[in-house]
Amino acid sequence: MNAMTSPLNATDGRRAARSHIHTPRLETPFHPRLAALSETSDWYSWAGYKAPHTLFDEELEYFAIRSTSALFDISPMVKYRIAGPDAERYLNRLTLRDVRKLGINRVHYTAWCDDHGHVLDDGTLFRLGENTFRLCCQERHLPWLLDSAFGFSVDIHEETEEIAGLALQGPTSCSTLLAAGFSGVERLKPFDIASVPHETGTVTISRTGFTGDLGYEIFVPRALALSLWDRLWQAGQPHGIRAIGYAALNTARIEAGFIVANTDFITAEGALRADRVRMPDEVGLDWLVDADKPSFNGRKAILEARRNQTLKHILVGLEIEGNIPAEHALVYHGKKREAGLVTAAIWSPTAKRNIAIATLDRPYGVKFTDDLWVEIYALRELRYQKMMKRARIVPRPFVKLARRTTTPPGSF
If pLDDT is split at 50, 70 and 90, which confidence band does 275 have?
confident
- Confidence grade of residue 276 (pLDDT, cut at 50, 70, 90): very high
Per-position DSSP letters for 185-236, written without gaps between them: GGGPPTTBEEEEEETTEEEEEES--SSSSSEEEEEEEGGGHHHHHHHHHHHH
Summarize the confidence of residues 70-80 as an average pLDDT: 98
SS3 string of 58-112? HHHHHHHHHHCEEEEECCCCEEEEEECCCHHHHHHHHECCCHHHCCCCEEEEEEE
Q: How confident is the model at residue 2 (pLDDT cuts 50, 70, 90)?
A: very low
Lowest mean pLDDT among 8-12, 222-226, 263-267, 294-298: 8-12
How is the beta sheet containing 163-169 ordered, strand by strand? Answer: 193-198, 201-206, 215-221, 163-169, 69-73, 241-243
What's 147's DSSP letter? H
| Burial class of 382 by CB neighbour count within 10 A (0 to 12, 13 to 18, 19+) | exposed
111-125 tens-digit pLDDT: 999 999 999 999 999
User: Angle at the Cα of 115 (from 109 to 118), degrees rounded to 5?
Assistant: 55
In the prediction, which pLDDT does 24 show? 81
Task: State the average pLDDT over residues 44-54.
Answer: 96
Tell me the average pLDDT of the chain: 94
Q: What's the whole-model pTM score?
A: 0.92
- Give the span between the Cα atoms of 120 and 305, in whole angstroms: 17
| CA–CA distance, 88 with 81 (Å, rounded to integer) | 12
Distance, in Å, from the CA atom of 283 to the CA atom of 258, rounded to the nearest integer, reads 11
- Asked whether the beta carbons of 253 and 212 are under 8 A apart, the reply is yes
- Residues 139-186 pLDDT 10s: 999 999 999 999 999 999 999 999 999 999 999 999 999 999 999 999
Q: What is the pLDDT of residue 380?
A: 86
Under a CB-based contact definition with an 8 Å cutoff, are residues 288 and 302 in contact? no
Q: CB burial class (10 A; 0-12, 13-18, 19+) of residue 46? A: buried
- pLDDT bin (cut points 50, 70, 90) of residue 7 is very low
Rg of the chain over Cα atoms, rounded to whole angstroms, equals: 23
Instruction: Give the pLDDT of residue 3.
Output: 40
pLDDT above 90: percentage of residues in the chain: 90
Q: Once rounded to an integer, what is the mean pLDDT over residues 254-280?
A: 94
- Quote the pLDDT of residue 362: 97
User: How confident is the model at residue 1, as a pLDDT?
Assistant: 38
Least confident of 190-204, 268-282, 360-374, 395-409: 268-282
* Ordered structural domains, the chain, with CATH: 26-77+161-255 (3.30.1360.120), 78-158 (3.30.70.1400), 274-394 (2.40.30.110)
Q: Is the pLDDT of residue 262 over 50?
A: yes
- Alpha-carbon gap, residue 73 to 214, rounded angstroms: 17
pLDDT bucket at 22, cuts 50 / 70 / 90 = low
pLDDT band per the 50, 70, 90 thresholds, residue 12: low
- Report whether pLDDT(401) > 60: yes
Q: Could you count the other beta carbons within 10 Å of the beta carbon of residue 323?
A: 10
* Alpha helices in 256-405, H assignment, sequence order: 299-308
For the segment 10-27, the average pLDDT, to the nearest whole number, is: 61
pLDDT of residue 8: 42
Lowest mean pLDDT among 8-12, 71-75, 248-252: 8-12
The phi, psi pair for 236, rounded to 5°, reads: -85, -10
Phi then psi dihedrals of residue 322, to 5 deg = 85, -170
Is the pLDDT assigned to residue 21 strictly greater than 70?
no
Report the C-alpha gap between 343 and 255 in whole angstroms: 14
